[in-house]
Amino acid sequence: MKGCRRHAVSHQNQSFKYDGAADQPALSQDLTLSNTLNCPTNPDLHNPPASATHGAVALMAVLSFGLATAWVRHAGLVGGSVVLSASLIMALTALAVMLTDLGWGRVHRRRSTGLDFAKSNPSWERTSIKWLGLAGTGAVIGLGYWLLPEYHGTFYGRYFALMRAIVPLALIAAVPYIYFIDRYQREPVDGYFYAGQFFLGRYTKAAQPALKQHALGWLIKAFFLPLMFTYFCNDLERLIARPTPTLSDFTAVYNFLYDSMYFVDVGLVSMGYLLALRLTDTHLRSAESTVSGWAVTLVCYEPFWSLIGDRYLAYGSGHPWGWWLAAHPWLYTLWGSLILLLTGIYVWATVSFGARFSNLTHRGIITNGPYRYLCHPAYWAKNLSWWMISVPFLVTDSTLEALRHCLCLLGLNAIYALRALTEERHLKTDSDYRDYHQWIQKHGIYPRLLRGTGLSRPAEPTKLEVF
């Protein structure tokens, strides 16, 4: 099956799916590595540093997404089109998030946006060059899609249908938006400007760092958005066709909730890749630039996972948890509920980003939700759920075969550990993340557990310095 996004086993149909969706902040162009918010450092040592996305914004995202989905599920596909229905759900969710962010959170006033509304420096020349940078970048991506066989065929058809509908409108809307943003930018010469200069044949060596970040940011969007939107449309189609389960049938409830949570995940992730705007402070601060960071991330996604998962890390025993526990109803229900709990934590991590999610990028540091307790809650929850779903430790053929399955799953766990390490290396270029990481090391769930068991000394109070 091409493009499988998550390895999950539905014990009814034994279908295997895989998701590499990471929980790491998508894209616009700015080399500013600082994500300093317009608020003083929180002196309360029991609370983490301020999060780039407020919890109320995340709540608004999931509520609006749920209501829009419920309406589509009740009324049926809009115009009979999955693409149109998925686009409507994303648009309504994005509108709710933006209104909450701008109207209530006033995120456009944050220093991290790079905007200063007290100063005005309009320029149609810069605007036209930046627009050319945007259009030229899109043309290069389109050329890549045309060139690479991976994007031929029908699998990405719904994504390309979306692009045909929104790209012309986006290019038109970009003119007033770029003009407005450029007018108030503290440093208006950014990645888009240098890209426009490049397409005009005015490349200079000084533009190289900004152009590199611009290219990496758009390459990330070009790779992940087709996958996520395709999964989103496929899941929406299945969700509409699936009947609402009765509470007396735990198997049906489990399958419905499990698939629905991943549906929410890929829907909000798709919105995050599209909604990367400086005005809402969801723009790109920096993109991962190391080969190691890209390698350990891309290996978790199609088309690469088909090779790695099938040929090298095939950890499934062929007898997932539902088969194992079918004769024990109470344990069956408990085990399935724990899987749903872990999946819920994973999706909670995605929801906490609001409109900031994308792989391999830094779009603001998230310190609330499950990130208040762990640096990488999504990775922990997802990897633990795979052990509970696939139960590779079951002895079926032989003990050695069970050991082999366990070692293969440990190999996948190791890939995610490497992803966490490369993400931390990237994010630690931002002082906000360093402050958050230091706070977690003292107040996160692990140090609290260690202190509770007497295996670690209590963390010393952080020294507050006033400059």
CB 83 within 8 A of CB 161: yes
Distance CA 139, CA 132 (A): 10
pLDDT score at 15: 34
Inter-axis angle of helices 191-199 and 124-147, to 10 degrees?
Answer: 70
| Distances from the Cα of 270 to the Cα of 90, 232, 357, angstroms | 8, 8, 9
What does the alpha-carbon distance between residue 241 and residue 2 come to, in Å, rounded to a whole number? 21
Give mean pLDDT, residues 369-390.
Answer: 96
pLDDT value at residue 193: 97
User: What is the DSSP secondary-structure string of 13-56?
Assistant: T--EE--------------------SSPPP--TTSPSPPSS-HH
Q: Is the pLDDT of residue 236 over 80?
A: yes
Distance CA 251, CA 332 (A): 9
Per-residue pLDDT at 398 exceeds 90: no
Q: pLDDT confidence of 22, banded at 50, 70, 90?
A: very low
* Segments making up each domain of the chain, as ranges: 8-452
pLDDT at 457 (0 to 100) = 52
Backbone phi, psi, residue 2, to 5°: -80, 135
Q: Which of 424, 444, 429 is nearest to 23 (CA)?
A: 424
- The tokens describing 134, both together, are 């945007």
Give the pLDDT confidence score for residue 17 in this predicted structure.
36
Q: Which of 224, 223, 282, 234 is nearest to 262 (CA)?
A: 234
Whether residue 177 has pLDDT greater than 70: yes
Is the pLDDT at 36 greater than 50? The verdict is no
pLDDT above 60 for 16 = no
Sign (positive/negative) of CA torsion 227, 232, 233, 235?
positive
Residues contacting residue 66 through CB under 8 Å, at least 6 positions apart: 264
Give the pLDDT score at 168: 97
DSSP β-bridge partners for residue 361 = 287
Which of 39, 181, 193 has its CA nearest to residue 122? 181
Q: pLDDT, tens digit, for every residue of 413-431?
A: 999 999 999 999 999 999 9
Query: pTM of this prediction?
Result: 0.88
Q: Is the pLDDT of residue 1 over 90?
A: no
Q: Could you say which DSSP state residue 243 is in?
A: P
Answer with the residue of higher pLDDT: 37 or 153. Answer: 153
Which phi and psi angles does 9 have, rounded to 5°?
-110, 115
Write out pLDDT tens, residues 51-93: 999 999 999 999 999 999 999 999 999 999 999 999 999 999 9
| Residue 127: band (very low, low, confident or very high) from pLDDT cuts 50, 70, 90 | very high
Tokens of 6: 């998550």
pLDDT of residue 25: 35
Beta-bridged to residue 362, according to DSSP, are: 286
Rg of the chain over all Cα atoms, to the nearest angstrom: 23
349-361: pLDDT as tens digits: 999 999 999 999 9
Query: What is the rounded CA–CA span in Å between residue 252 and residue 139?
Result: 45
Cis? peptide before 303, omega within 30° of 0? yes
Mean residue pLDDT of the chain comes to 88
Strand partners, 16: 9
- Of residues 338 and 9, more confidence is placed in 338
Write the pLDDT tens digit of every residue in 309-333: 999 999 987 888 998 899 999 999 9
Average pLDDT on 175-187 reads 98
Instruction: Identify the residue with better confidence: 219 or 5.
Output: 219
Q: What percentage of residues in the chain have a pLDDT greater than 70?
A: 87
